A and B are shown apart, each in its own frame.
Chain A
Amino acid sequence: MADTTSVPGAAIPAEDRPAVEAVGLGKRYRRDLWALHDCTFTVPAGRICGVVGANGAGKSTLLTLAARLIEPTEGELRVFGEALSTPESRARVAYVTQEKPLYPSFTVAETLRVGRELNPGWDEETAQRVIDMGELPGRARIGALSGGQRTRVALALALGKRAELLLLDEPMSDLDPLARHELMGVLMAEAAERGTTILVSSHILPELDGVIDHLLLVQAGRIRLAGDLEEILDGHQLLTGVADGAELPAGTAVERRVRGRQVTALLHTGEPVDGPWESTRPSLEELLLAYLRTPLPTAVTAPDREAVA
């Protein structure tokens, strides 16, 4: 077991090793409640990967597994080639959970000090910059901050860690549009400057457009789509035509919608299609909506909630 997992990793130089690699990964919470099942995917280092799915699809479980806060029930998840948590691997991964929990009695300055005291590679300058942009006073107590301000402190804590892999679970959900735009900018600048890999989950689709370059579509605990975003978009086409026209090519339609006599369909193929169709490359939002509206063909026990503490 040890040989099969460590030897391929050791052969690849560190910089070319995938940031996250899952093989048959699964997580079961209760006896028959699979939050994730049989997930296999790879996220190369340096990518900004969107983790997309409906509520309860298993996005949080996936990120929590990558953060090593829970153990997989089946399969394996390697982070920078390592299957297990070590002090070194902990220093390389930062994680912002959906609820952004922080100690309510601590001040903003004390919360940053937690990061400084517990992380050897702490970057005070970056963390402080994120705080200052929100004009948060250091002596303000966390418990007195608004949800958006707390999110900012949580992001500062994660960015100050100078991690190589940043796991962000619904990071922007309670920020106003201005702060969202500004913090996304900070994140992207950090990622570009240091080559940080980011896994960001979101159900606010426009938040991801133009930001991510890799996609993981999680649906009912399974990976529906995984890969380079451009390749995925190139591999799909959006067809528009008249309902009683030619048949759609078999086996490639993800979704087909009829509005009056007009038919819109998303096809999972890059090959040109014959017939009276007008074909366009789908936008990220069109692609994701088409998939999210269509349940998986095989019936899977759908988890009824996100990863629970």
Chain B
Amino acid sequence: MSTSALTGPSAEVRPAHGPGRGPSRGTSRGPGGVLWLAWRQSRVAVRTMVIPALLAALVLITMHVLIQDRVETMRRIGCLETGVWDLTCQVQSGRIGMLSWMFMNIVQPAVTAVPVLLGMFLGGPLLAQEYESGTLRVVLAQSVAPHRWLAARLAVPGAVVLLLSAVLSALTSWVWRSDMVRGTWSFDPPFQGFTYPVLGTVPVAWALFGTALGVLVGQLVRRTVIAVLVSGAAVVLAHAVMLAVRPFFWPLVEEEQGYNNRLGGFAQPTNAWLVEHGVVLADGTRLTNAECAISSDVCAAAPTSWGQYHPVSHFVPIQLVETGLLLVLTALVVTTVFRRLTRAGV
């Protein structure tokens, strides 16, 4: 039977996806082989992700049930009617307040940190370990094409990250929508620091991007411990950059108001994100709030205030722009990882 030199008929008979090795026994395998290996290699990581995700889901559902139960109790007693506020109402609203505090100060920061943790402990070591211990050479010395192995190696944990982050984001969005933003006893505008990154599509995109960035860092540094640390720093840095550019994902609404001294200047609509504000002097010059701190007398006398803000209706467009941007970046990072696998050598 021929080897590589023969082209034409024999090349067409050969299965396109597998290395045809003449008439040797055994059939060329489909994606099953690399998927098994990828699953075996990801097993521990998947377990480590699923258990905390299930716990978080349980906590969120419990929170929702408890809050709704308290709200129902208060409605039954009539706490919302004027003049009926008594000690029971006080106790119930205190409990709701405590649950809301936990959601905003524990759950939200924890969920915001998920992409950083994924970059550090899933993405970073994923290839760094293979390079460091030399097992990558073993895999690449098998018959399977390197990019097919890498595709499976990334797809298996990637699919789990996608699924779990989607479920988690759906739950945090649901609890926030039903118990926080509409709740009578809590105030949690959507653009706020730890609130925005746990709502909608953004957590899913961040989870995928954090993981991918970690994989690239691991491939570049090829040392597990360094990969963990650098990946964490890289994802945090990406968060910081995103925070700085996020206001410009959608055109800002600009408005002037009569100077409102009682509210400290410009008053934005409910749940809006006030990006920049200040005063307009009599001659029409605008001063930002920071500039006012220097010349407070001039500002106090100003007749008008101005503000640039995103109303709550900009929330979904901004989320979609950020999600799109992150997915494009993720694709770029993954492409780079694929290119480097065969070009950089092992």
Residues of chain A having any CB pair with chain B under 8 Å: 6, 9-10, 14, 17, 67, 69-71, 80-82, 86-95, 97, 99, 101-106, 110, 113-122, 154, 157-158, 161-162, 309
Contacts and interface: CB of A to CB of B under 8 A. Distances in A.
B36 A14 contact: no
B24 A118 contact: no
Given A70-B345, A120-B18, A95 B137 contact: yes
Given A6-B5, A69-B346, A90-B144, 14 more contacts: A9-B5, A67-B141, A90-B142, A101-B134, A101-B135, A101-B137, A105-B44, A106-B40, A114-B37, A117-B37, A120-B19, A120-B28, A309-B134, A309-B346
Interface in B274-311: none
Contacts of B40: 106, 110
Interface in B1-28: 2-5, 18-21, 24-28
User: Which 10 pairs show the lowest CB-CB distances between chains A and B?
Assistant: A101-B134, A117-B33, A118-B142, A87-B19, A91-B143, A70-B345, A91-B19, A95-B141, A10-B5, A120-B28
A10 B137 CA distance: 30
7 contacts: A70-B345, A90-B141, A99-B134, A101-B137, A118-B37, A118-B144, A119-B26
Given A6-B5, A161-B143, A88 B20 contact: yes
Contacts of B137: 67, 69, 95, 97, 101, 309
A119 B134 contact: no
A118 B5 contact: no
Interface of B: 2-5, 18-21, 24-29, 32-34, 36-37, 40-41, 44, 131-135, 137-145, 149, 222, 343, 345-346
A163 to B, nearest CB: 9
Nearest to B43: A105
Contacts of B33: 116-118
A102 B133 CA distance: 8
Nearest to A87: B19
B122 to A, nearest CB: 16
Given A101-B133, A121-B25, A309-B131, A88 B3 contact: yes
B300 to A, nearest CB: 66
A110 to B, nearest CB: 6
B346 A86 contact: no
Contacts of A162: 24
Contacts of B37: 114, 117-118
Nearest to A71: B345
A92 B142 CA distance: 9
A75 B28 CA distance: 33
B21 A120 contact: yes
Given A88-B19, A117-B33, A157 B138 contact: yes
Contact of B145 (A6, A90, A103, A122): A90
Nearest to A103: B135
B3 A14 contact: yes
Nearest to B18: A120
Contact of A102 (B21, B135, B142, B345): B135
B2 A14 contact: yes
Contacts of A154: 138
A224 B321 CA distance: 63
Given A86-B4, A91-B19, A309 B222 contact: yes
B195 to A, nearest CB: 39
Given A10-B5, A117-B36, A101 B21 contact: no
Contacts of B26: 119-122
A157 B141 CA distance: 10
A69 B141 contact: yes
Nearest to A101: B134
A10 B5 CA distance: 5
B75 to A, nearest CB: 55
B43 to A, nearest CB: 9
Contacts of B140: 69
Nearest to A94: B141
Contacts of A93: 141
Q: Which residue among B5, B131, B222, B343 has the maximum number of chain A CB atoms within 10 Å of its CB?
A: B5
Nearest to B346: A69
A81 B4 CA distance: 8
A88 B34 contact: no
Contacts of A67: 137, 141
Contacts of A70: 345-346
Contacts of A105: 44
A231 B135 CA distance: 39
A103 B33 CA distance: 16
Nearest to B144: A118
B143 A119 contact: yes
A90 B36 contact: no
Nearest to A65: B345
A117 B143 contact: no
Given A71-B345, A97-B134, A103 B41 contact: yes
Contacts of A89: 4
Contacts of B18: 87, 120
A162 B142 CA distance: 11
A10 B3 CA distance: 10
Contact of B345 (A69, A110, A116): A69
Contact of A90 (B2, B19, B345): B19
Contact of A80 (B3, B19, B20, B135): B3
Contacts of A116: 33
Nearest to B134: A101
A81 to B, nearest CB: 6
B126 to A, nearest CB: 13
A309 B21 CA distance: 29
A70 B142 CA distance: 15
Contacts of A88: 3-4, 19-21
Contacts of A95: 137, 141
Contacts of A9: 5
